[in-house]
Amino acid sequence: MLRRTLVLLGAAILTGSIAALAFGAKRIAAENAPYKGPSAPQCVPSRLGRTDVLPGTKLAVSPLPDSLDASYATQISLLGYPASALSGISVNGTASGGHSGRLEAYSQGDGASFVPSKPFRSGETVVVHGKLTVAGKRYPFAFYFTTAVRDPIGHPASSAKPAGRPTELSAFHSRSDLHAPLVTVTASSPRQSPGDLFLAPYSGPGQDGPMIVDGAGNLVWFDPLPSGTESTNLQVQQYEGKPVLSWWQGYIPPQGFGEGEDVIADSSYRQILRMRAGNGLPADLHEFKITPQNTALLTVFDPIRCNLSSVGGPSNGAVTDSLFQEIDVRTHLVRREWHPLDHVALTQSYASPANAKPEWPYDYFHLNSIDPRRDGSILISARNTSALYELSPSTGEVIAQIGGKHGSEKLGAGATTAYQHDAEELPNGDFTIFDNGAVPKVHPQSRGLIVSVNPNTRTDTLVGEYEHPKPLSAASQGNLQPLENGDMFIGWGSEPYFSEYTATGALVFDARMPAKTQSYRAYRFPWTGAPTGAPSIAAATGAGGAVTVYASWNGATGIASWNVLAGPAPTQLGVVASAPRSGFETAIATPPNPGGAPAYVLVQALDAAGNVLGTSRAIKG
């Protein structure tokens, strides 16, 4: 049975009065006033690994009680009971005073967020209390947290891109605005899986943006982004029962994370949702996963001021807090927020805090993947601790640590990772991992791994390993994707390669982009795209009145052939030539015309049954 509880100053049971609450708030204010002078505030709580569930209840809250890293624009997330069970929410900042707001329910029916009508002040302590009604009985609760002081890292211009050679960039008559980096297929076998390749090239020659190519390297769809805007993590996911594209886009600062938004587009490439992170923060580039419950798991990198003197860093320093949020996609409310600073010691990092400064915070954790497991726990990967962590789905506590310093699992031969990315669970319970092995260089080359986890012996055994025939050492990024036929598809991150292997390790597909081009991850998926716009057309007149017509339709996957219609006026056109589709752009020669080139031409895209899928505008021949 629930007992009346209050989580304040670490206490578990409500025994005092309103006067005691006021005294506690004053003491907290005195101890946690916004920093002044040469030292930054503390960012690590008095005790690591606290549960986010209030004692005596099943109510999980965030910000985490006693934490020091909340955003000044945070919501108060209350998860575990219907919104109707919550009442009397009172929120008071020790510097900003009382906060009115709205209690907004999650669409999943299992909680609500109190959304303050104004933000808090940086560095202040916030006391939350309210009432929980269960089976007709009302139980008071309370907890407190402290807001962090944001660390502005600046916004330096992106590095200059290398000039591309004609052999490195696509060029089309009908889409002269597209200059995507070319994909060169260097190994191909009939054994490879069907499906297109999903990339998001940046930093190399040509335009940057989400890109789909087919198995031969031909462009299928490309969305070039404005200069200074990058994209990552293009993939196919399910949203509201339908396949959608999702990707991240925004600004990538030199510190190696993202400040932007996650995008969801339907099969016509119409953007149906653009999502920033919650609590006033930008979405990071590393992870965005849509769950069957219509929630999204996404990463956030939040640089905050932090006194690092206890770990050998500067007292007036900063740390990059790489956290994750679970967001209700329909309401954009934050259901849960998890911070490594509350659970993993700064000393667990292989990065050094010695040179940390406000312009270059101590990136001690660097969260890069989130994977909900079948048992409900959450598997995350942290690059800079070289470790994976299994988290309790109900309390947020670390259940197990795989790798890194003082890991809880015994690693078998070859199972140790270094600066890894993209840890995911397979249907049989094994884990896939992209093991960078650099930088600094720990392993001779990067590799894809499959690791078997024995929960009884707490031993992890290497059961699969995939290396590139040309040894690649990916300084950052990368992923390993299991395919339906048992193959493994690997994106090599900062190296411009992507490959497919059979379960036994045979290479059945390999391709690359131009040098210096990076794609954070690379995937293979089946995909059907049907853009709503019209096909594109261009024409060039040759000798004898013959016209070569160029046809393309960015993103259309169902085209089997093209018709060319020509005539003296846009309303007087007839079919004069046809050709099977050939790559992104098809060149179609029309027969010579003794009377000269036709005045107007247009193209029709046809499916395999000869049905017209789309018609271009008519242009002068």
Q: Residue 46, CB half-sphere, CA atoms under 13 Å: how many?
A: 10
> Span 5-146: which CATH code?
2.60.40.3780
Q: Which of 597, 614, 599 is nearest to 562 (CA)?
A: 614
Q: Which of 547, 543, 533, 557 is nearest to 600 (CA)?
A: 547
Cβ–Cβ < 8 Å for 112, 103: yes
Q: Provide mean pLDDT across the span 550-571.
A: 97
pLDDT of res. 136: 93
pLDDT of res. 594: 67
**Which of 7-21, 198-212, 286-300 is predicted with the least confidence, judged by mean pLDDT?**
7-21
Provide the phi-psi class of 276: left if phi over 0, else alpha when psi is between -120 and 50, else beta.
beta
Cβ–Cβ < 8 Å for 202, 248: no
Q: Quickly state the pLDDT bin for 158 (edges 50, 70, 90).
A: confident
pLDDT of res. 507: 98
Q: Tokens 């891109």 appear where?
A: 161
Query: For residues 377 and 595, which has the higher predicted lDDT (pLDDT)?
Result: 377
Query: For residues 1 and 175, which has the higher predicted lDDT (pLDDT)?
Result: 175
Query: For residues 4 and 457, which has the higher predicted lDDT (pLDDT)?
Result: 457
pLDDT tens-place string over residues 7-50: 333 333 232 333 333 333 443 343 334 445 679 999 999 999 99
Cα-based distances in Å from 164 to 185, 202, 474, 515: 19, 13, 22, 10
CATH fold match for the domains 5-146 and 536-620: yes
pTM of the complete model beyond 0.85: yes
Q: Quickly state the pLDDT bin for 134 (edges 50, 70, 90).
A: very high
Q: Quickly state the pLDDT bin for 592 (edges 50, 70, 90).
A: confident
Written as six digits, the tokens of 165 are 């050679």
pLDDT tens-place string over residues 262-282: 999 999 999 999 999 999 999
Using only the alpha carbons of the chain, give its radius of gyration. 28
pLDDT tens-place string over residues 431-444: 999 999 999 999 99
**Which of 4-18, 336-350, 491-505 is predicted with the least confidence, judged by mean pLDDT?**
4-18
Q: Which of 493, 490, 494 is nearest to 505 (CA)?
A: 490
Q: Which CATH architecture has domain 536-620?
A: Sandwich (2.60)
pLDDT of res. 494: 98
Helices (H) and strands (E) counted in the chain, each on its own, are 1, 44
pLDDT of res. 37: 60
**Which of 21-25, 335-339, 376-380 is predicted with the least confidence, judged by mean pLDDT?**
21-25
Kindly state the percentage of the chain with pLDDT values over 90. Answer: 88
Mean pLDDT of the chain: 93
pLDDT of 173 higher than 70: yes
* In the chain, domain spans: 5-146, 536-620
**Which of 207-211, 455-459, 541-545 is predicted with the least confidence, judged by mean pLDDT?**
541-545
Q: Provide mean pLDDT across the span 333-349.
A: 98
pLDDT of res. 160: 81
pLDDT of 379 higher than 70: yes
- What is the distance between the alpha carbons of residues 92 and 383, in angstroms, rounded to a whole number? 37
pLDDT of 188 higher than 50: yes
Cα 616 to chain centroid distance, Å, stands at: 36
pLDDT tens-place string over residues 83-123: 999 999 999 999 999 999 999 999 999 999 999 999 999 99
pLDDT of 74 higher than 50: yes
Q: Provide mean pLDDT across the span 529-549.
A: 91
- What is the distance between the alpha carbons of residues 615 and 384, in angstroms, rounded to a whole number? 52
